[in-house]
Every structure is written in C-alpha cells, then in structure tokens.
Amino acid sequence: MPAYGAYLQLPALLDRQRPHADAHDELLFITVHQVFELWFKQLLFELGDARDRMLAGESYLPRKRLERAVVIQRALLGQFDVLDTMEPQDFNEFRTALGTGNGGQSAQFWEIALLSGSRDASYLDRPWYTKQERARLRRRYEEPSLWEGFLALLADAGFDVATRSCRADACRQLAARTDRYRQLWDLAEALIAHDQAWASWQSRHLLTVQRQIGRKRGTGGSAGAAHLKSHLDNRFYPELWELRATL
C-alpha cells in the first residue's frame, strides 16, 4: 500500500508552487489560485455527474451533487479572505511576474459556466488556451448543460418544456404541488443555490480585485474590475429566478 505522500503525490504537488519574483506574498498568490483550480476540477466532476444522472432520469443524486457543489463554492469564498491579507503594495511587488496572465483565462472557470447553462461562445477560442483546453471548452459548449438535464426530467414527468411559457407553467406547478413533485422542486432549488453561490463567488472576486488594484487595468491588459462587474448580473437559470415573481 502506498504511503500518505505517495498516495496524494505530494512531492509533485508541492513542487508546483514556484514564485518568479523575490516577493514574500507571491507564494500565497500562487497557492490560492492553484487551490481555486483544484476545486474547479472537483466542481466539474460533481456538476458533470449531476447533469449525467438527470439525463438518465434521476433526481435524488443530482440534488446531492449540487448540494456538495454549493459547499465547495462556499469554501472557495474563504480563499479571498486569505488573499485580502495581502496589501496592494505587496501585490505590486510581483504583479509584473504574471506577464499576460489573469484569472479570466481559466479554462475550467468557463467550463463550469458552460456546463451550468451559459451559452456564451465568446471564450471558446481565445489565444491563451492550449489545444486541449479549446477542445474541452468546445465540448462543454456543445454538450447538454445542467439546465437541459433538468428540462429532461420535467419532460419525463409529463410537462411540456417546448417554450419559455410552458416551462414557467411547469415550474409553477412544481412550486404549488410540492407534495407531488417534491424531488423535482428540491432539485430546482438546488440549481438556484448553485447559481447563487457562483454569483457570490464572482461578486467576492470583484471586491478582492478592487481592493488590490482599484480601477486600474487588469493584469495582461484586461479591463480588470470593470470586466468582472459586467458579468455580475448573469445567471445560469434566469427562468427559475423569474419564477419567484409569479409565486
């Protein structure tokens, strides 16, 4: 049986934090963002399984997967608290070491958005992606999303999901008859919780960026905080949010 370090491949993992500048806080910055990417990988695993199970006709385990995803997203929020212990002048000591890199170039971030329900094709073929990342993003864009998995369950339950109006009526029936449609309603609520947690992450990200660089241009020439702010009102499941006004 492998030892603890061998099982977790710790020598390789701990060799991946390599600062480029002689700045104390660069290790912290690298570690936090690598933690983000590790949790993004787990989110893709959980959300992908939830989607697949919905397409296969299940409703219980998809909800459990989404509930886990929400807890992971809450854990991600805590990483910003760690980053906020870094003062702006400390960030400036190594900011140039990032070169043209910035968080908006995370392929896994956009994979999560596409898997969840976004159909924004603007980030499918950016020059900073590797060939493998482009392929993954294209696959996510073309494959069914969590929203489509949920609609498949509604159709299996006998609801008409052909139009937005039909889907709104179906969701109102779920809300009105939770005694009959409890699992489907709970799943709809789990989707909302995932959407809300993702929006909270983006809002918290914006605050940390504003704390570090204010209104300055982002790393690599991005729009920085202005770009992040422009995405704050995006939702994966707008129809579920609009439902609230009709109940």
Indicate the SS3 state at residue 133. Answer: helix
pLDDT for residue 229 is more than 80? no
Indicate the SS3 state at residue 177. Answer: coil
pLDDT value, residue 57: 98
* pLDDT category of residue 49 using cuts at 50, 70 and 90: very high
- pLDDT mean across residues, the chain: 92
pLDDT for residue 155 is more than 60? yes
DSSP 106: -
pLDDT value, residue 104: 82
> Residue 226 and residue 67: Cα distance in Å, rounded?
31
Going from N- to C-terminal start, the domains of the chain cover 22-244
Residues 115, 116, 122: CA angle, nearest 5 degrees: 65
Q: Are 80 and 36 in contact (CB under 8 A)?
A: no
Select from 94, 109, 102 the least CA-distant residue to 128: 102
Q: What is the pLDDT of residues 87-140, one digit of tens each?
A: 999 999 999 898 888 888 899 999 999 999 999 888 788 888 999 999 999 999
Q: What is the pLDDT of residues 237-247, one digit of tens each?
A: 999 999 999 98
Select from 30, 38, 128 the least CA-distant residue to 76: 38
Task: State which CATH number among 1.10.150.120, 1.20.58.480, 3.40.50.450, 2.60.120.330 fits the domain covering 22-244.
Answer: 1.20.58.480
